[in-house]
Amino acid sequence: MDLSLAGLTVLVAGGTRGIGRAVVEEFAREGANVAFCARTGYQVGVLEEQLSESAGGVEGSVVDVIHPGAVAKWVSESAVIFGGIDIVVSAVSATALDDTDENWGLSLTVDLMGTVRLVKAALPHLELSTAPSIVALSNVSGREVDFAAGPYATAKTAVAGYIAGLAVRLAGLGIRANTVSAGNTYYPGSYWAAMEERDPATFEAALARNPSGRMGTPAEVADVVAFVASPRASRVTGANILVDGGLSRGIQL
């Protein structure tokens, strides 16, 4: 299926690891111009180099979404480089699980406010696009109570709620907004990879809860993000789409 992404410009915040990285790679494969950011300069440079032969332009930047001015500057500069912005994807997360004051602050500042700041900075550019779309990454922990209940899950619930509100508010402008919620996702350096080594019993218990018998991959989530963000999903807005292999058991009514 041609997703009609070639030539469009996509911003991805949190684009060098895991799902965020896979999202950057997928949009680049589809021929979109991709501007991505992350906090670590080395990782930004490596990914930018790896995607240098992509059909569309690829521009990496070092940005910490904790700083509102840095986010706004990155968005503005990216719009100048590529002549506009069509799609924004927020994949930022502090992945702060322990119930501490510091983690509550981190989760709300990075996961929630990082998404809010990205959207606010990008909105004036999205209003000028012919195919405007917003996608935020959340998690199944944001829609049902599980081991991650606390800072991480609460922030993910808030992200989904924020995006749902945006979808209604922006529908009249033709701007779509959706959430993609991943289940257990395994890749080198991930939380689950660390648990497999540090606490095999807990890892095996989590793995066993997946009806498919395995955890997902970042690419499987990125494929859904790309479709939902694309013009081919023109009637999809306000949705929280699960990519979890049947892990969550709730019925969405």
State pTM to two decimals. 0.96
Residue 192 lies in a domain: no
How many structural domains comprise the chain?
1
Residue 79 lies in a domain: yes
> 97: which DSSP letter?
-
Tokens 């501007």 belong to 35
Specify if 47 maps to a domain: yes
pLDDT digits (tens, 9 = 90+) for 188-227: 999 999 999 999 999 999 999 999 999 999 999 999 999 9
Which CATH number does the domain housing residue 72 bear? 3.40.50.720
Mean pLDDT of 34-47: 97
Task: Report d(CA 197, CA 11) in Å as an integer.
Answer: 34
> Can you give 17-78 as a three-state secondary structure string?
CHHHHHHHHHHHHCCCEEEEEECCHHHHHHHHHHCCCCCCCEEEEECCCCCHHHHHHHHHHH
Is residue 224 one of the residues assigned to a domain? yes
Radius of gyration of the chain (CA): 17
- Domain contains 88: yes
For residue 22 the two structure tokens come to 């896979």
* Percent of the chain whose pLDDT exceeds 70: 100
What type of residue is 189? G
Which residues constitute the domain of residue 93? 9-186+218-243
CA distance 16 to 39: 9
List, in order, residues 6 or more apart from 117 with CB less than 8 Å away. 65, 68, 71, 72
Whether 193 is covered by a domain: the verdict is no
Question: Angle at CA 78, nearest 5°, toward 138 and 218?
Answer: 30
pLDDT of amino acid 182: 96
- Alpha-carbon gap, residue 130 to 125, rounded angstroms: 11
Return the SS3 of 61: strand
Question: In whole angstroms, what is the distance from residue 126 CA to residue 130 CA?
Answer: 8
Residue 17 lies in a domain: yes
Would you name the residues annotated as active-site residues? Answer: 152
* Residues 243, 179: Cα–Cα separation, whole Å: 11
pLDDT one-digit tens code per residue, 98-152: 999 999 999 999 999 999 999 999 999 999 999 999 999 999 988 887 877 899 9
Structural domain contains residue 51: yes
